[in-house]
Structure 1
Amino acid sequence: MWSVLRANDKHAFHYTPVQGLQEGDPARRFEFFKFLMHTDVDDIQFLQRILWTDESCFNREGITNLHNLHHWASKDQNPHVKRPTSFQQKFSVNVWAGVIGRRLIGSDHTTYQLD
């Protein structure tokens, strides 16, 4: 099988997970974009009053989202990179952060002024 794939110049690629969209989603996204752009013109402070947030979970095994994890090497090398994934002792930490205006808000509700 591999020789047939190579003979036909085929290479295995990873799938990239993306947000699933419903039929009307592109139009709704565009309308929301137009709303943000017009509101920001009418009220310069509008976007600065939005709390933008994200979160991530860290554990002993490291990066949970592996689709961005790569080891780059030249084609003539085979580095046999290993990554331990099973440990007897496990832990995880969920981290949350938000940005509003020029302030960074951390998981512990500590606020930092961004200069």
Structure 2
Amino acid sequence: MFSNEEMRDMVCVYSTENFNGRRAHRIYLEMYPNRRQPDFKIFKNLYDRLGETGSFHHKRDSAGRPKTLNSEQEEEILVRVAENPELSTRRISMETGVSKSTVWKTLNKEGLHPYHFTPVQNLLQTDFPARQDFAHFCRLQQNADPMFLNKVLFTDEATFTRRGVFNFRNKHAWDLENPHLVSERHFQHEFKIKVWCGLIDNYLLGPFELPPNLNGKLYLEFLQTQLPNYLDDLPL
């Protein structure tokens, strides 16, 4: 939830901007860029509630979970999501007393969608300068030679096991009845294969199998003794 100070400032900006919620939202962002930003509808809801109850906060009837929504409940849902975008609809339902389906409808009506996180590599603070230097180097080379990136060999390695690659959130099977499908995961006998692949210009290099217990020495040996032979086969 927003603090009393934040809600006070919202009401002040709303009145200063002649009770125009969208304009108040824009001005509030300019005045307090480091604060949590409310939906533009919240300005009017706060102003109306203050006039009706004399308080920024309202009491919620905890008996049951209503399927119909009043403006205060809708505002509270939007406030909670603005404060913590990672809240689940189940948690919002528990905290507001509104049914989960109504929470979904409210968020969808506002054009909000549950976007998934994208996993990325963890970086240390010392990594950023090196990456910036490399980016600047690439830009300079690209300016001098527009075909520079076509001459760069981009590579990656990956390890594959008998477990395969599955995303259980997206893996499903349509049927009239539950077929009770399973996906075997924990095997008594495991195996894995580590492969290397490269991309240069429009040519795919590999994939090539690497030693299962790869270390720096073995990888350097691969780069110095085997990779040049593979590059010789490319029509560059």
Same fold (TM over 0.5): yes
After the TM superposition, which residues 1-115 of structure 1 pair with which residues of structure 2 at under 5 Å, given as runs?
5=91, 7-8=94-95, 17-23=119-125, 25-63=127-165, 69-72=167-170, 82-106=182-206, 107=208, 109=230
What residue ranges of structure 2 are gaps of 5+ in the alignment? Answer: 1-89, 97-115, 173-177, 210-229
SS of equivalent residue, structure 1 residue 8: helix
Give a deviation string over 1:39-96, Cα, whole Å, max 9, x none.
1120123212211011211111112xx6xx24347xxxxx776431112332211121
Max Rg structure: 2
Structure with greater strand share of residues: 1
2:94 maps to amino acid: A
Give the alignment's TM-score, normalised by structure 1.
0.58
After superposition, the CA RMSD in angstroms is 3.6
Give a deviation string over 1:28-47, Cα, whole Å, max 9, x none.
43343232122112012321
1:59 and 1:24 map into 2 onto residues whose CA distance is 33
Q: Could you tell me whether the CA contact under 8 Å between 1:53 and 1:98 is conserved in 2? A: yes
What residue ranges of structure 1 are gaps of 5+ in the alignment? Answer: 74-78
1:8 maps to amino acid: E
1:81 and 1:112 map into 2 onto residues whose CA distance is 45
- Following superposition, the deviation at residue 21 of structure 1 comes to 2.9
- Following superposition, the deviation at residue 27 of structure 1 comes to 4.8
* Count of aligned pairs between the two proteins: 98
- Following superposition, the deviation at residue 16 of structure 1 comes to 6.1
1:23 maps to amino acid: Q
Q: Relative contact order: is structure 1 or structure 2 higher (C-alpha 8 Å, sep ≥ 6)?
A: 1
2:124 maps to amino acid: Q
Give the alignment's TM-score, normalised by structure 2.
0.33
Structure with greater helix share of residues: 2
